[in-house]
Chain A
Amino acid sequence: MMYNLYVERDSILHRLDPRVKILSSLLGILAMILFNSPYLLFILFTLLSLSLRFLGKISFKEQIKVLKPLTPLIIITIAIWPFILEPKTFGLFIGLGYALRLASMAMITFGLLMTTTQRELILGFIKLKMPYEIGLTLTIALRYIPTLFNLAQTIIDAQKSRGLELEKGNFFSKIKKTVPVLIPLIIASIKTAHELSIALESRAFGANKKRTFLYTIEMKGKDYIALIIVFLLFGLALYARYQLGIGYVKLY
């Protein structure tokens, strides 16, 4: 069951050079780390979602769909901060901010993958002189997520058939009960990864340091303009954070 996040559309983001999109994504993720104010992070998340919608033609429904698997992680993030920070309401407030930050970072990554074909993505990484393995690893990892979900479901079913009751018991016994599910899942994943590495090596992956290309990419006027805008926005973020002191809440 192969999986690709790319959605075919005719949009500004789709037509941008992959290098611009990769750089912007990195800067975007960095910008998210600058701020921890839930208010500001909420505004940034909203802007992100809107620009994906209007510049990338990715509907809100599609955005929710790719973020949905992160729900447990987001809930844990929100729930854990009230235990770390006093008073609890303040902890919850900060937790909310961190959840928004997490969602934004995911949205940036997914946005990149939804508007860029795998071929362009890998080409972009190489032309940026970054290890293109990063791009390849990212796309492979993402397209195995649904496979992993199905596998986990099968394993849960198998263990339930042996009388395992995942829902019953207190918090700690529930954690203990995940062992019969996690071990087969990890072993099966490692096996899949191993098979994949054989498949890659048998196609001489990594044999040649210098790669040749069938397709190539070229920066055009609009790509430079987009890059300038992104750098300006990032500069603005730095200015706001360090000169104006906006968007940062002291925690301790």
Chain B
Amino acid sequence: MIEVKNLWHIYEGRKIALKDVSLTIENEILALVGPNGSGKTTLAKHLNGLLKPTKGDVIVDGINTKEASVAELSRIVGYVFQNPEHMFFEENVFKEVAFGPKNLGLSKDEIEKRVEWALRSVNLKGYEDRSPYSLSGGEKQRLAIACMLAMNPKYLILDEPTTGLDAKSAESVKEVIRKLKEKGHGIMLITHDMELVLELAERVVLLYEGIKVFDGTINEFFQLDLRNYDLDKPELLKISERLSVGFVRNINEFVTSLLRRMRA
């Protein structure tokens, strides 16, 4: 469990980015949403120790981040940055994924096992010899996830994992996220893509100007008037509301409810 307790963060130059935020993260898909500049990245960077609290505490599986290095925390919390290219530097995919486990000081055998397992988890088996920069957008994103998975973290933070991807690539990334959830990883999705939230999230935390204004189930979340927070409802939900078919999460559910309603 990750516990964020009364967290404040004030950047140099006195920008208050987080105001008294508290929340817990367990083995679930949690969506962290909010408009640009609301403090999502600032909050996420506290979970693996990249930022330390100005006030308050962040406890990761019993470890206070103030007393641990980023390297130590990287075994527990994997942070996949928004732009995967910001981390690629090796000549091939295998070496790229092996970089993290190598930093953990694992044996050669164990590193190979981890790389193989991580690549399989993100459906990139057979890409070992390709250059990371030669991959497509969706493949790059999945490779970035594999790089973190190879360190075997319990929690994964994904910053805007589908932004800028075409529909098919985005679907391949979503599939990987669902798979990871099944395997028992706790996942924090940072996004302002409400469609993605609707499809994947179980719980939603909404930040607005550095304040946690909502923390609840996905169903409750979409009952908020999102326009107050510069966000918009997914089209699917708008249509289903108009047709009063109730809360649905994807097209299949929508069609099923609609048919049921029409029969009734």
Which residue numbers of A lie inside 8 Å of B, CB to CB? Answer: 151, 154-155, 157-165, 179-180, 182-184, 187-188
- Given A163-B104, A165-B71, the answer on whether A157 and B45 have CB atoms closer than 8 Å is yes
A-chain residues with CB within 8 Å of residue B69 when the two chains form the complex: 165
Return 26 A-B CB contacts under 8 Å, by A number. Answer: A151-B86, A154-B81, A154-B86, A155-B87, A157-B45, A158-B81, A159-B87, A160-B70, A161-B48, A161-B70, A161-B74, A162-B74, A162-B87, A162-B100, A162-B148, A163-B71, A163-B103, A163-B104, A163-B151, A180-B87, A183-B88, A183-B89, A184-B86, A184-B88, A187-B133, A188-B86
Residue pair A162, B147 in contact (C-beta under 8 Å): yes
Report the separation of the CA atoms of residues A187 and B71 in the bound assembly, to the nearest whole angstrom: 25
Residue pair A187, B85 in contact (C-beta under 8 Å): yes
Asked if B39 is at the interface (CB within 8 A of a chain A CB), the reply is no
Identify the interface centre among A151, A162, A184: most chain B CB within 10 Å of its CB: A162
User: A165: shortest Cβ distance to chain B, in Å?
Assistant: 5
Given contacts A154-B83, A162-B74, A163-B71, 6 further A-B contacts (CB under 8 A): A154-B86, A157-B45, A160-B74, A162-B103, A165-B69, A184-B89
B-chain residues with CB within 8 Å of residue A161 when the two chains form the complex: 48, 50, 70, 74, 78-79, 81, 148
Which residue of the partner chain B has the closest CB to A185? Answer: B86
A-chain residues with CB within 8 Å of residue B45 when the two chains form the complex: 157
Contact flags B78-106 to A (C-beta < 8 A → 1, else 0): 11010101111100000000011001100
Residue pair B104, A157 in contact (C-beta under 8 Å): no
Residue pair A155, B103 in contact (C-beta under 8 Å): no
Report the separation of the CA atoms of residues A158 and B74 in the bound assembly, to the nearest whole angstrom: 11
A-chain residues with CB within 8 Å of residue B75 when the two chains form the complex: 163
User: B43: shortest Cβ distance to chain A, in Å?
Assistant: 14
Residue pair B85, A188 in contact (C-beta under 8 Å): yes
- Given A157-B45, A157-B50, A187-B133, the answer on whether A162 and B151 have CB atoms closer than 8 Å is yes
User: B194: shortest Cβ distance to chain A, in Å?
Assistant: 25
Residue pair A179, B71 in contact (C-beta under 8 Å): no
- Given A157-B45, A157-B50, the answer on whether A164 and B71 have CB atoms closer than 8 Å is yes
